[in-house]
Structure 1
């Protein structure tokens, strides 16, 4: 189909026009539950054709979901007509040259074709493990397949699959959460997730109020994922670097030596994409190496603006083009996984408690908003479980707290006291990405008050 669109472009715009065509098929199936009952099953299967055309020094993009011959012809004709009226594009970086893929993302046929009863089985396990507590959430499966071709002779194709589950349990106003993602549905245990969510809810009843101030924190993976999402969107962004609004400084020791961040679309068991919107092939990229900011992701346009090469990270983010990590991972610490751990936490967090004299165990962050994108000061709230840690032991639940904290500062030199030895892959959230995150122990986190103000 991509080749056919290129033929139509050559006929309509001439051999001198530069064109890039992407064909993407996204199949998604979702099972939702609330009040401990499945209340919705839905599925969608959509194909989208995208066309980027550069002719006469002007650039436009067009798209269509009509894959018939008439639909493809209409897409080309509309785009060719639009480029005649577009403003000049002096920053056009040219087309991606031919290059082989660096690898294949994870794909599981059984997950891509999973029936509703396979998702319902996970929901049943979650609800049963909650032991009568009220539960709600979702289980989803899906796949993405794509093909890309441009008039420079570059062609690539790929496919990947995803399964994700996210659920809460509630008791007497206290919520507990558990979530996980994978390229394989068989990696998700509804019973295991339901047991953890229920344990959090039961342990969260009758929370105490704590005064604002700086506390040591052990952040579970869901909370750490928010840090990574903000770091990616506002710091490790090719567009942010080109516009000089990122905190990231290449070659600077901006993070604790224990912090290494990488981006690998071919990590086993994780969904991923082997090329970007420009068709540029992706490779593993180390963004932070032992605390030193070592690289930033780029698409062709942002790379040209700062005088470097594209890393294959072009995405569309909130309607705008950007270059962002798609598989950002905080590399876990060396060591064996934890043995016995309280049911209310991920096992890898348990060894981190021993280093806390007085601090907080935080399950999740939400409603996080950036106050200063340059320093990445963020305000937000805790949710789904907070507990006081005293003498290395969890002692009591705590009411939700509001915080105001610079995320890079929280991970800065000397600020990271410990990192868990196991990372969880979590469902895509703010970014079109799958974060891989272990729990972390941070020396200081600024809480500014209760959730009500």
Structure 2
């Protein structure tokens, strides 16, 4: 059976076993995932999996329950339906049930590349080889992955939808002594991943990060590379633009208020890249402007949180939305327009996207700057009198969800910038910072003109941003504590 036939079969079983008044929705996803992992400059693992998953949600006699399974023959589907109906009888009443998605137009999936969908292991291995060769003898580790998903949705209200998508990603580290350099890129097509360019970038940063000095904690002007900006977008998504948290007044978001610098425009744009055109509830997915020129405009909703606030779904129904809340998963920080300060020439207001090597759209600059910064980042550094260039953040944790104060660590390279030039590597810092405050009115001094898509741990989830220059970042501890 096709995915749509399976989904229709599940809905029909609910109707037969629970009666015509039962409401049901079924999501069927066929996934082909493959990963080539390397360490110590050798491939040590190549794995692939292919399977079909079915997720069912029913609303019967005022009660709601969900179930999932991977057996798609008649016996397997019937068992899924029976145990989900049994679970519904044990659940408490659900007076906030928002109902099913009515028949709605769904646009075709924006991205599908057959060569990526059916990529062979040697095609991923070739990019790993290019990465390892490009690091020039440094120790290399990381992965190259490809994914292909096709799926269907059907519910008892007569709504159905189809989708398919592909994605490729590479994440690699080069190491020399105790110094690491990283390069990452996520793309719709495997052909867009340039292992050699990523390896050369990681190696240059690792070499330039050797023998770091320690600086005292304090507030520093910073230029954040796209990998670090991706952490900002992820945490803003989870804890700020989350419709459930907003409804519970646990989010900083105030739609209609100018909460960000006017250079900041954030768009959740699933159809820009590898994502299905519908969500777990069958609602259409579309571009959602979260922040427009500094003014907060929207938060993400599934049907339940949207009904509670009277706004409707924004296409963000997902697993866990009823407990954690619906979140954007494909946020783009739009690059600077051509005439913006720090933006330079070459990107429209819709934001530029970096080429395959994720090197900022041009050749590497010369000298010390070129060793640690692509031309786009170097342009932002040029006006920094004294500050820090930060490659990446990690191990970030929320201290205060309402103001979104985050603590975390830098990694994979930090450099002191003096008179527009990175002059020396710096040992890692701990920071404690309110992400909305750091991006607040007047706090953004420049945006790059080329966006780079950063992969998430989950395929289909990504964060896209240019480098970002901020007036201040609060570093609260150094290597000594």
CA distance in 2, matches of 1:390, 1:30: 41
Out of 354, 362, 379, the position equivalent to 2:390 is 362
User: Does the aligned pair in 2 maintain the 1:328–1:433 contact within 8 Å?
Assistant: no
CA distance in 2, matches of 1:62, 1:90: 20
Superposed displacement of residue 339, structure 1: 6.0
- In the alignment, which residue of structure 1 is the partner of 2:104? 99
Alignment RMSD: 1.4
Out of 297, 300, 304, the position equivalent to 1:301 is 304
- In the alignment, which residue of structure 2 is the partner of 1:331? 334
Superposed displacement of residue 87, structure 1: 0.6
Out of 455, 466, 470, the position equivalent to 1:438 is 466
- In the alignment, which residue of structure 1 is the partner of 2:354? none
CA distance in 1, matches of 2:260, 2:459: 22
Superposed displacement of residue 381, structure 1: 0.5
User: Does the aligned pair in 1 maintain the 2:166–2:274 contact within 8 Å?
Assistant: yes
What does 1:54-69 align with in structure 2 at a 5 Å threshold?
54-69=59-74
- In the alignment, which residue of structure 1 is the partner of 2:428? 400
- Are 1:315 and 2:318 counterparts? yes
Indicate how the Cα distance of structure 1 residues 207 and 221 shifts in structure 2: closer, same or farther if over 3 A, else same: same
Superposed displacement of residue 317, structure 1: 4.5
User: Does the aligned pair in 2 maintain the 1:133–1:170 contact within 8 Å?
Assistant: yes
Indicate how the Cα distance of structure 1 residues 257 and 352 shifts in structure 2: closer, same or farther if over 3 A, else same: same
Instruction: Provide the TM-score with structure 2 as the length reference.
Output: 0.92
**4+ residue runs over 6 A deviation:** none
Give the secondary structure class of the aligned counterpart of 2:119.
Answer: coil
Out of 200, 206, 212, the position equivalent to 1:201 is 206
- In the alignment, which residue of structure 2 is the partner of 1:258? 263
Write out per-residue CA displacement over residues 426-448 of structure 1, whole angstroms, 9 at most, x where no aligned residue: 11148962111110000000011
Write out per-residue CA displacement over residues 187-242 of structure 1, whole angstroms, 9 at most, x where no aligned residue: 10000000000001100010000011000000000000000000000001111112
User: Does the aligned pair in 2 maintain the 1:122–1:190 contact within 8 Å?
Assistant: yes
* Structure 2 gaps, min length 5: 1-5, 338-344, 347-360
Out of 310, 329, 348, the position equivalent to 2:376 is 348
Give the secondary structure class of the aligned counterpart of 1:228.
Answer: helix
Give the secondary structure class of the aligned counterpart of 1:426.
Answer: strand
Out of 23, 27, 35, the position equivalent to 1:18 is 23
User: Does the aligned pair in 2 maintain the 1:229–1:431 contact within 8 Å?
Assistant: no
Give the secondary structure class of the aligned counterpart of 1:77.
Answer: helix
CA distance in 2, matches of 1:390, 1:384: 20
Aligned pairs, number: 451
User: Does the aligned pair in 2 maintain the 1:217–1:441 contact within 8 Å?
Assistant: yes
Write out per-residue CA displacement over residues 270-326 of structure 1, whole angstroms, 9 at most, x where no aligned residue: 212211111100111110000000111111000011111111111224994621112
User: Does the aligned pair in 1 maintain the 2:453–2:465 contact within 8 Å?
Assistant: yes
What does 1:151-230 align with in structure 2 at a 5 Å threshold?
151-230=156-235
- In the alignment, which residue of structure 2 is the partner of 1:425? 453
Write out per-residue CA displacement over residues 75-128 of structure 1, whole angstroms, 9 at most, x where no aligned residue: 111112221221100000000000111342311111011000000000000000
CA distance in 2, matches of 1:49, 1:149: 11
